Every structure is written in structure tokens, then in C-alpha cells.
Amino acid sequence: MRWFTGALALLLIGLAFQMGLLVYAMYVLLGVMLVSRYLAREWVEKITAERECSRPTAQIGDKAAVIVNIRNTGKLPVPWLIAEDSVPREALTQRPPRIAIEGKRTNILQLAAQGEKALLYQVTFLMRGFYQLGPLLLESGDLFGLHRRFRLETKPQFVLVFPKIVPLRGYDLASRRPIGEVRLTHRLFEDPTRIAGIRGYQPGDPLNRVHWRATARTGTLHCKIYEPSCIAGVTLLLDFHKSVYTARREPDRSELAVTLTASLANAVYQLGQQVGLVTNGRDAADRILQEGYRHEFRTRSLALDTAKMQEQSNRLRPVIVETRRGPEQLLQILEALARLELTEGLSFGQLAIEAASRLPRDATVVAILPTAEPETAIALGSLKRRGYAVTAILVTYDDDEDAPASLGRLMAEGIDVRRVDSEAAIETVCSAELVR
């Protein structure tokens, strides 16, 4: 624009002072600028692209092949085109990185009329997450560098990488009590092998409950009373507030907490019991821009800023997977954990208050915590006093200064406490209590 304004000003000066050579030069320059502007716009608008990704979901360590086919639909050749397929920048720059790229996702291309070329690269997923691939950033312009045009082409695709699951040892499979013994206050399930007593017959009692010996001895119908089953599943409470995960141990601590949560959910699901998840983390899908991409940009930085994910999201609504049985229950929990990210929204104490009404009375509450602040310990103690069976698992390391204090706060509330500091420790987390 400045070049155009300057050339127009010189043209007016030449006309005013009858400087024929200057006027001729400015006519030529303005003509070149207008033609260049038209060609730059024509080239970039005639480019189309399609992306193909080999998988929508993956496990940690899997690779996904990405092919971006770029085609010139115009009748004019494109002398130069910079094509860059977007990937999460923070996933590459984090240490250790969450993904690794092999191949070229950025290239300088020349396209003939109706010509086609492709970008081919491979993404290795090193950690769980919800990764955005695309959109494709296109940049072209005239041969003199006077005009440049930018476009975002193709809708982004997303790959869901599930968290790692560690098989657990130490479950008492015979009694089906993986996280300690809890007597139900509501008789949702009864164990017919454990007779607690007898009572008088009531209309509607099935015949298989009739205690025939007592009936014969007393001359009136009596029925058996069975002891309730010890537990009816687990509700996992994961603290994923950013303030309690110190930068010195990140992302190791948060990834270990997610792996622990996924492993517990898998173990309880395999036992056929109900399982659920409640966490104060944010869902990555909530913050990804899926629509509203602009198709032409004046600067490369503006195009990149529009293409990338939102960086800030203070989630004030917990992520909840209701505590239930079913073949899809584990998959829903793993998907939620795969997309989970640290947030600055609800604290764990606020989370416990918010989710208390959704916690089944007869499901064990297992809290996965990096630390137990006073508010956290009081919240768990309140759940225990209300009749919930509560177990806390601390994701701490030997050099954590606040670990003894966290342990003391939970013990003071009468909470069953266990500790995990590595994936190897996850295997035996249910075999023995840390504190009796």
C-alpha cells in the first residue's frame, strides 16, 4: 500500500511539473503493481488442499501418517507457494516433547496449471492428548515481493491419544473388593452366600428367600436376610488444578496421575463394577477453534494466530463421567482422560462440593491428588463423615517437601492413604494401605 501511495504521489508530481520521463516510469510501476496484485490474489485463491490422516485415535508410541494434497485449479502456473501444515506448537516445544515429527510439513512448491503436489510427514505420539493437525497455511505472492497473500485451507483434523494403562496387582478377586471393604448402607446388591439373619415373611418375597427350617420350626413363614455386597464400584476424583502441579515435576507428575486414574478405571471395569470420573481439569475439545477460520490474511503471524488453539481457558464446570456399568463406560473415561488438561478453574475443595450430589452413596470415592492442602483434606473428610468410603492416593516423590504434611492432614481426617511415585508403584497401589 505504501508503494502504491508513493508511486501515485510521484505520478501527480510529474504531471504537475510536466516531467515526462518520471510520468512514464510511474505509469509502468503502477501497471506492474496492479498486475502483481492481481496475480498474487489469483494464484492463492486457486489453490485447494485435502488432508488425509491414517488414524483418528492412537496409543502412546503409535505413529500417524499425514498426507496433504495441494492442487492448483487455475489456468495460470503458480511460481512459488509456501505450504505449512499446522501442528500444536506447545506439544513440540515442551520438554520432553509430546509429539515428534518426521518428514516435511513445510515446503516451497511450484505448481503448474492444474498441477498437484503433496506434503507427506509422520507424527509420533509420545504422550496422551488431543492433537490438532491443520489447517494448512498457504503463502504466495508476486515475483517482485510487493504483494503477499495468506490463506488457511482445509479444516483441522484431531487425533485422540489414549493414556497408558498399567495392569494392577493385589486385587482380591474372590471377594471383589479392590479398594478396601465398605459395608453398603443401601442394599443394591446382596451376597446369597452370606446370611445375616432371618425375618418374617412379607408379601412379595420370592420363594428362594424362604428359610424352610425356621418356617418348619416356628410354623410361620420366615425369609433369609443376606449381607450386602461390600462395594458397588468406584468414583475417581482427579485433582487437575494447575496450581498444585509444580513446574519442577511437570509434565511427569500430571501424566503419572492420569496413568494411575486410567489404570484404576480399567481394573474396576474388568471386575464388572461401576466406575466413574470427576475432575476439575479442562477438556481440550472445549478450547480448540473448529470453525470461523478466515481464508485470507495480510500477515503470516495473523494467520498462525488464527490457526492455533486457544491458550487460556478457566474451566468452572467439572468434567464428569457418571458412575455406571456398561461396555462403553471405560472408553468414555479414557477419552475424557486423553483430552484432559491442567486448568485454573475449580479447586479440589470446590470440585468436591460441586460433585457431591452426583456421587453414588455406595461407591468408593478414590481421590488422586498431587498434594493435600487443608481445603482438600477437609473436603475429603466431609465426604467420609457423610458416609462415603474414601481413599486418597498421593502422587508424590521422595524429595517433595510437602508430602509429610499432606499425609498428616489426610490421616487427621481418617482417610485411607496410599502413595504412588512411579508407574511401577501403580501395579501394587491396591495391594496394601500406606497407613492402617
Q: What tens digit of pLDDT does each residue of 6-15 get?
A: 767 776 777 7
What value does the mean pLDDT of the chain take? 83
Number of domains in the chain: 4
In a domain, 402, yes or no: yes
| pLDDT over 70 percentage in the chain | 83
Pair (276, 376) in one structural domain: yes
Pair (379, 238) in one structural domain: yes
Pair (217, 140) in one structural domain: no
In a domain, 257, yes or no: yes
| pLDDT value, residue 124 | 97
Pair (40, 94) in one structural domain: no
Pair (96, 217) in one structural domain: no
Q: Any idea what the CATH number is for the domain that residue 86 is in? A: 2.60.40.10
| pLDDT value, residue 3 | 61
Domain residues for the domain of 37 are: 2-44
The lowest-confidence range among 110-114, 306-310, 377-381 is: 306-310
Pair (250, 381) in one structural domain: yes
For the purposes of burial, counting CB atoms within 10 Å of the CB of 145, is it exposed (0-12), middle (13-18) or buried (19 or more)? Answer: exposed
Pair (357, 210) in one structural domain: no
In a domain, 309, yes or no: no
Pair (246, 367) in one structural domain: yes
Pair (265, 386) in one structural domain: yes
409-410-413 Cα angle (round to 5): 95
In a domain, 307, yes or no: no
Pair (352, 381) in one structural domain: yes
Max avg pLDDT among 91-95, 303-307, 428-432? 91-95
Q: Is the pLDDT of residue 289 over 50?
A: no
What is the pLDDT confidence band of residue 284, given thresholds at 50, 70 and 90?
confident
In 10 A of CB 75, how many CB atoms? 9
| pLDDT value, residue 156 | 87
In a domain, 178, yes or no: no
Residue length of the chain: 436
- Calculate the CA 378 to chain-centre distance: 28
As a three-state string, the secondary structure of 64-111 is EEEEEEEEECCCCCEEEEEEEECCCHHHHHCCCCCEEEEECCEEEEEE
In 10 A of CB 126, how many CB atoms? 16
In a domain, 384, yes or no: yes
What is the phi-psi region of residue 67: left when phi exceeds 0, alpha when psi lies from -120 to 50, beta otherwise? beta
Running DSSP on this structure, what letter comes out for residue 250?
A: T
Read off the pLDDT of each residue in 139-143 and give the average, rounded to a whole number: 84
What is the pLDDT confidence band of residue 181, given thresholds at 50, 70 and 90?
very low
Pair (207, 135) in one structural domain: no
Three-state DSSP class for residue 52 = strand
The lowest-confidence range among 178-192, 303-317, 373-387, 393-407 is: 178-192
What is the pLDDT confidence band of residue 26, given thresholds at 50, 70 and 90?
confident
Three-state DSSP class for residue 188 = coil
In a domain, 338, yes or no: yes
Read off the pLDDT of each residue in 306-310 and give the average, rounded to a whole number: 51
Pair (268, 393) in one structural domain: yes
